Structure 1
Amino acid sequence: MTTYEHILFDETDGVATLTINRPAMLNALHTALIAEMIHAVDRVRDEGKSRCLLLTGAGRGFSSGADLAGGDTASSALSGGAVDAGKVLETHFNPLLERLFALPVPFVTAVNGPAAGAGCSFALSGDIVIAAKSAYFLQAFVNIGLVPDVGSTWLLPRLAGKARAQAMMMLGERIPAATALDWGMIYQVVDDVELMPTATAIATKLAKGPTRALSLIRHGIRDSLDKSLTEALMLERRNQRLAGGSPDFIEGVSAFLQKRPAAFSGK
């Protein structure tokens, strides 16, 4: 059994719940923590025990972003040394984001309190994003003379539109959960006490669904964003062939005809 120092990981009822667990530091992200997240996500991908991933943060925040206080980048900058602020992206942060997007199972995020910097990117990368009323999203890079990273320049314009995403990044202002909902960045806002029950219920429903079809949906939507209509139609055609060849399709049709709930196996 794997023991983690900076995250919590639990698999129950087909749902893998990954909790960023540095509450005293508002779940600031450093390389050791990201390495543990990568390990946990790889387990979900490879072991096949869970059919949905749920990501959240412990305590009063989802994540305040990269740990500047405990990282080498800040100390190098203060000492006047040469700084490659992008190195850790290449070695840790970007590989984690790529893994989250490539997962063969649905991915839900439950956002509590601040989701800033890299934490904002991870929060918004979920297929379904549920936010507490206390949550807010922040791209604060400009406040320290850096540029948005961990996929935010790709992700945010697609969620909120160019004008809003650009203002969010250039002004470095908080976007409250209610505003994020209005902008189409997230799916739902709930009372703080209802965050985890709501997110867990959604994740459990997805975990009981037709996993292959859900995987094709999550990948198909993202792939179609950069394609022409004709290319998107061809992609849908291919994905429908793959989904139609699954045991879950047979079960879904059988359940519909027999007027009973479907018992999907995830195959």
Structure 2
Amino acid sequence: MISEAECRDGVWASIDANGIARLEIDRPRQMNALDGPASARVIALCDEWAASPDVRVVILSGRGGSFSAGADVAGMAQDARGSGGFDEAASRAIIENGSNLVRAVRGLPMPVIAALDGAAVGIGASLAVAADLVYATSRTYFMLAFVNIGLMPDGGASALFTAAVGRARANAMALLGEKLSAADAYDAGLITAFFDDPAGLAAAVDRVAGRLARRSPRALALTKSALDRHSLSGFDEALEREISGQTELLQSPEFQSALTSFVAGR
């Protein structure tokens, strides 16, 4: 198990003596957008920690003023050029990777805390809301910007956001690509609390993690499972619908045009 913090593929990981595991995305030039290796690292860590009796709490965060700007679109474009474009198999593999990322977080039996500062966009927003407790700074915002590039929400966002904020607000975010501020996210029930600055966020998250680490792991696991069965009973079905829809949309002319414009800086 990891004792001292180590970084691989743009992801820091550590576990302290109290069983508090920390996973920090560190790709500042990409606003912590996730590419294939970073996603694989997150999945591997979650799978390892899920089976470990030494891990009592997991904290997800991002370094450098962003949580995660979503998928690494520039990297996707480069991969597409190298492989001759997005065919059905390649498109499905991309979306399944994002789904597996969020599944890995949801598969953790212990409480998961998201500590957010800055952007939580696209799959980054799904990853954040997949946590059980979500804390943020006042400059944090959420955005399901898929529609702006000819895509639809994925990573379970269609279930996670609707369960958290209700149908009307989730529709506005998904259909209009509207940004949701930390204050509005708190009012809508998407986040647990927010703080003026990163120092206040870090102190609060440390306090909550310490409390959870002292509780019965079995009681917490059973409580979490019971809550999920009620609020996210359709989560797996939502993922399958998103995978099917996104596989189609990644091959569409609208997305290909948006991808070209994005890479060109337009």
Whether TM-score is above 0.5 comes out as: yes
Please list the CA deviations of residues 29-77 of structure 1 after superposition, one character each: whole Å capped at 9, or x if unmatched: 111001101111122112322200000001110000000011148845x
TM-score scaled by structure 1?
0.79
- Larger of the two Rg values belongs to structure: 1
1:4 to 2, 5, 8: 8
Q: Report matched runs for 1:114-133 at 5 Å.
A: 114-133=119-138
Q: Residue 257 of structure 1 aligns with which residue?
A: none
Deviations 1:216-238 (A, max 9, x none): 111101102367xxxxxxxxxxx
Matched, 1:53 2:66: no
SS in 2 for 1:41: helix
Q: Which runs of 5+ in 2 are unaligned?
A: 234-266
Aligned 1:1-267 pairs, distance under 5 A? 4-12=8-16, 13-72=18-77, 75=80, 82=87, 84-90=90-96, 92-192=97-197, 193-225=199-231
Structure 1 residues not aligned, in runs of 5+: 228-267
Asked if 1 retains the 8 angstrom alpha-carbon contact of 2:116 and 2:135, the reply is yes
Aligned equivalents of 1:150, 1:226: Cα separation in 2: 13
Pairs aligned (count)? 225
Taking a change above 3 Å as real, the CA distance of residues 138 and 26 of structure 1, as seen in their structure-2 partners, is: same
Judge conservation of contact 1:68–1:74 (CA < 8 Å) in 2. no
Task: Give the Cα separation in 2 of the matches to 1:73 and 1:167.
Answer: 31
TM-score, scaled to structure 2: 0.79
Find the aligned partners of 1:226 and 1:110 in 2 and give their Cα distance: 21
Segments of 4+ moved more than 3 angstroms: 72-76, 79-86
Task: Supply the distance in 2 between the matched residues of 1:134 and 1:196 (Cα, whole angstroms).
Answer: 14
Greater relative CO, 1 or 2 (CA 8 Å, sep 6+): 2
- Taking a change above 3 Å as real, the CA distance of residues 132 and 226 of structure 1, as seen in their structure-2 partners, is closer
Amino acid aligned to 2:151: L
Tell me if the contact between 1:14 and 1:208 (Cα under 8 Å) persists in the aligned partners: no
Q: Secondary structure at the match of 2:59?
A: strand
Q: CA-atom RMSD, angstroms?
A: 2.1
Kept after mapping to 1: 8 A contact 2:163/2:232? no
Deviations 1:84-126 (A, max 9, x none): 5442121x22122112112121110001100000000011111
CA positional deviation for 1:19: 0.1
- Provide the residue aligned with 1:261 in structure 2: none
Partner of 2:252: none
| Greater mean deviation of Cα atoms: 81-90 or 165-174 | 81-90
The 8 Å contact of residues 14 and 204 in structure 1, kept in 2 or not, is answered as no
In 2: Cα distance, 1:147 partner to 1:85 partner: 13
Question: Residue type of the partner of 1:60?
Answer: G
The sequence identity of aligned pairs, in percent, is 34
